[in-house]
Amino acid sequence: MERLGIREPRDLLFHLPSRYQDRTRHLPIGKLQAGKSAGVTAQIESVTVQFARKRILLVRIADSGDQMFLRFFNFNRKMQENLKAGYFIQCFGDVRQGTQGLEMIHPEYRLYRHGDDVPEPEKCLTAIYPTTKGIGQTLLRKLVSESMKSQADKTVELMPEEILHQYELMPFSQALDACHKPTPDNDPDLMTQGIHPAQQRLALEEMLSHRLALWKQRSQREQVFAPALSCPGSSWEILTGQLEYTLTPAQQRVTEELLQDIGKSFPSLRLVQGDVGSGKTIVVAAPALYAIDAGFQVALMAPTEILAEQHHKTFARWFAPLGICTELLTGKLSSRRRLKVLEHIAEGRSGMIIGTHALFQDRVEFHKLGLMIIDEQHRFGVDQRLALRNKGAFLNFVPHQVIMSATPIPRSLAMIQYANLDISSIDESPPGRKEVKTIVIPNSRRGEVASRILSICRMGQQVYWVCPMIDESETLQAEAATDIHLKLRFQLPTLRIGLVHGRMKSRDKKEIMERFGRGAVDLLVSTTVIEVGVDVPNASLMIIENAERLGLSQIHQLRGRVGRGNRQSTCVLMYESPLGEIARARLKLLRKTNDGFVIAREDLELRGPGEMLGTRQTGLQKFKVANLVRDRSMIPIICGIAELVQEKYPEVIDPLIARWVPDSDHYARI
């Protein structure tokens, strides 16, 4: 049950069916159609066991001169004895065309004999629930039915009468009944799509509850104290004066928003989102320097060692001339070096601390943490961010937070999923940066790609070749990085070819990346570990193997590894033929646009918010009924209702949150 997200009886109320079947009427065999589900009442004519690769129980049934077959691959002696010629059978299943005529595979059935009471057909559409190994549909239906009776107190109406009337909403308990036991006059296809008024009523209340929970989090956060870092030092002005470029208007705007945040006496929480190469890192350097000038420490947490090392290199280059010590803390440090770094952090000698998950481990003690920056926030769980924040708590103060993402959050997603934080968008690229040209070709043309690589490298430029996997897989027909590396070394013997993947030792990865960075490797074969944080301006060609298997935003991130110099760069998306319609549309979009905001919206449409936010996001990201893609048209209405509830009906806020987001108090601390 836990695998289904069901931990207590009330969870069963919101475990809605994924589809519905109409078992309220049975059809004659002569009117059945292959490819459709149907119910049949007929008489058993024969029962035989066939022996092929596996035993099959074959039951021939007939009515009014028409016949069909029922096939059972898993059966026992008792089942075989019960299915007797002459008995009548009511069965339901998917009809298909078999070798001997129409047939059903493992239908659900009920038996009766001549003279017995004929079982009545179902009175409601039959719910088919999401299930898991060990829990069948019959058990789930029984548990849901019992829960509907025993948990009646959990189905009371919480929505104010004014809102029910104004928006013509179905009563809550009626909507719940209609979802679990819809009457025969409902369209099963409409119910399966989740757009029936009853389902939409529940989805609306759930999204409203999430928005109210996030609003409550925001209000609670404003009751906590944080250091007001409003005293400007000179470090930021010195740094910007030494840069070789001027910040774009978008960067300047977001910088001002961040500096205003950290000047407040309660902990700020702002998401800085921007496309690949838009310049997020220099922007977050501003509040970091303000915090350090005010006598506080700054922690930047990155999801991978490669990205953490890249950030350390960048900030050390910027901050060392200012006399600021920048430390790197990862799990791969030697014991001696780790002890030294921990000592510097605890004593306050380190102003800027950059690391991976190691930053919130038990032995890490900050001297005075005033600001935490989370990069690629969707790769961290809420609990992990909370663990780092708790590390920085001191004297009833908690640090300010900035979270960064190169995957822009579509507005509809932000209004429900991110209503507890402020969002800043760096929506323009630095001037002079050329768009990466994207080409889509089948894997069969890899010979042409190899020739292109050779010519690019002969001009002194470098190339990435990215593979989705490390080793061969029996389930995915994707070329593995190790295999591609060997093939390319044989195919292009004159080139210096390196290999990087997540299972390599940290020092080996670091060595290869450093060699590639200084131009000692012409072609780098890699898994998606180079998705973020790698900055090699001389790399002008990116090949992505089996691009049809990756998400749009992930491909866009990878594509952003090239085009960082002044040369025209190219990204080649290779795919395995034949391509499905959706995959073809996805790759076409990548060829057409380099706009990360457009790509993020499309990614939300195709993959949904769960994958887009990252599987490690916990807490408020989980919806029981609502689907942000399907239900996004309701979001403006929900925002309006939320404002009305806050203004006129605050007493229903906590009950609504308790019904739909019972764990929200835990996450309110972040």
Tokens 């928003």 label which residue?
Answer: 257
Query: What pLDDT does 666 receive?
Result: 54
Residues 247 and 100 in one domain: no
The token duo for 525 is 């074969």
- Together in a domain, 410 and 504: no
Residue 586 lies in a domain: yes
What does DSSP assign to residue 580? P
Tokens for 149? 């009776």
Of the candidates 229, 271, 281, 282, the one whose C-alpha atom is nearest the C-alpha of residue 399 is 229
CA distances from 545 to 442, 542, 548, 573, 580 (A): 10, 10, 9, 7, 17
Q: Which of 80, 106, 121 is the last residue of a domain?
A: 121
- Dihedral pair phi/psi, residue 452, rounded to 5°: -65, -40
CA 494 to chain centre: 41
3-state secondary structure of 172: helix
Q: In what order do the strands lie in the sheet with 523-526?
A: 437-442, 570-575, 539-544, 462-466, 523-526, 497-500
The Cα 356–Cα 63 span in angstroms is 69
User: Do 206 and 179 touch, CB atoms closer than 8 A?
Assistant: no
Tell me how far apart the 2 most distant CA atoms of the chain are, in Å: 97
Range of the domain at 364: 235-426
The per-residue b/e assignment along 424-448, b for 16 or more CB within 10 angstroms, e otherwise, is bbbbebbeeeeebebebeeeeebee
Q: Is residue 10 part of a domain?
A: no
Rounded Cα distance between 202 and 170, Å, is 9
In the 8-state DSSP scheme, what is residue 394?
B
Tell me the C-alpha distance between 597 and 103, whole Å: 50
CB 42 within 8 A of CB 58: no
DSSP 132: B
341 with 448, same domain: the answer is: no
**525 in any annotated domain:** yes
Which among 341, 392, 337 has a CA at the least distance from the CA of 370? Answer: 392
Q: Strands 101-105 and 55-63: what pairing?
A: unpaired
Task: Give CA–CA dist 95/74, Å, rounded.
Answer: 18
Query: How many Cα atoms are found within 13 Å in the side-chain-facing hemisphere of 379?
Result: 18
CA distance 356 to 349: 20
Q: 305 with 376, same domain?
A: yes
Tell me the CATH number at 572.
3.40.50.300
**404 with 523, same domain?**
no
pTM, to two decimals = 0.76
Task: Specify whether 414 is located in the same domain as 449.
Answer: no
pLDDT at 519 (0 to 100): 93
Say if CB 602 and CB 589 are below 8 A apart.
yes
Among 40, 37, 34, which Cα is nearest to 19's?
Answer: 37
Within a domain: residue 157? no
Same domain, 495 and 542: yes
Domain final position from 426, 459, 493: 426
In a domain, 4, yes or no: no
Residue 460 has φ and ψ, to the nearest 5°, of: 90, 10
User: Do 346 and 457 sit in the same domain of this protein?
Assistant: no
Number of compact structural domains in the chain: 3
Assess if residue 211 is contained within a domain: no
SS3 423: strand
Query: CA-CA distance, 304 to 446, in Å (whole number)?
Result: 30
Residue 169 lies in a domain: no
Q: What is the pLDDT of residue 382?
A: 67
Q: Provide the 8-state DSSP code for 644.
A: H
The 10 Å Cβ neighbour count of residue 218 is: 15
CATH number of the structural domain spanning residue 47: 2.40.50.140
Tell whether 409 and 304 lie within a shared domain: yes
Average pLDDT by consecutive 10-residue portion of the chain (670 residues)?
90 93 90 91 94 89 94 90 93 92 93 85 90 90 93 92 95 95 87 92 95 90 88 86 91 96 93 87 96 95 87 94 95 88 93 92 89 80 73 79 84 75 86 85 91 94 86 53 90 93 81 90 87 77 91 86 85 91 88 86 66 38 81 91 96 94 63
DSSP-derived 3-state class of residue 653 = helix
Rounded CA separation 516/518 (Å): 6
The predicted structure's pLDDT at residue 401: 93
How far apart are the C-alpha atoms of 406 and 55, rounded to whole Å?
A: 55
3-class DSSP state of 496: coil
**H or E element that contains 467:** none
Instruction: Residue count of the chain, please give it.
Output: 670
Domain boundary residue among 373, 404, 426? Answer: 426
Q: Are residues 392 and 468 in the same domain?
A: no
Measure the CA–CA gap between 530 and 528, rounded to whole angstroms.
5
Q: Is residue 551 part of a domain?
A: yes
Helices within 222-364 (DSSP H only): 235-242, 249-262, 280-293, 305-319, 335-347
C-alpha to C-alpha distances, 277 to 377, 530, 589, nearest whole angstrom: 17, 15, 20
| CA pair distance 264, 479, nearest whole angstrom | 52
Q: Which residues contact 146 (CB under 8 A, 6 or more apart)?
A: none
Give CA angle at 393 (391, 395), nearest 5°. 145
3-state secondary structure of 89: strand
End-to-end CA distance of the chain: 29
Distance between CA atoms of 440 and 570, rounded to whole angstroms?
11
In which residue are the tokens 């789930």 written?
140
Same domain? For 275 and 323 the reply is yes
36 and 93 fall within a common domain = yes
What is the β-pairing status of strands 297-301 and 369-374? parallel
Q: What is the CA radius of gyration of the chain?
A: 30
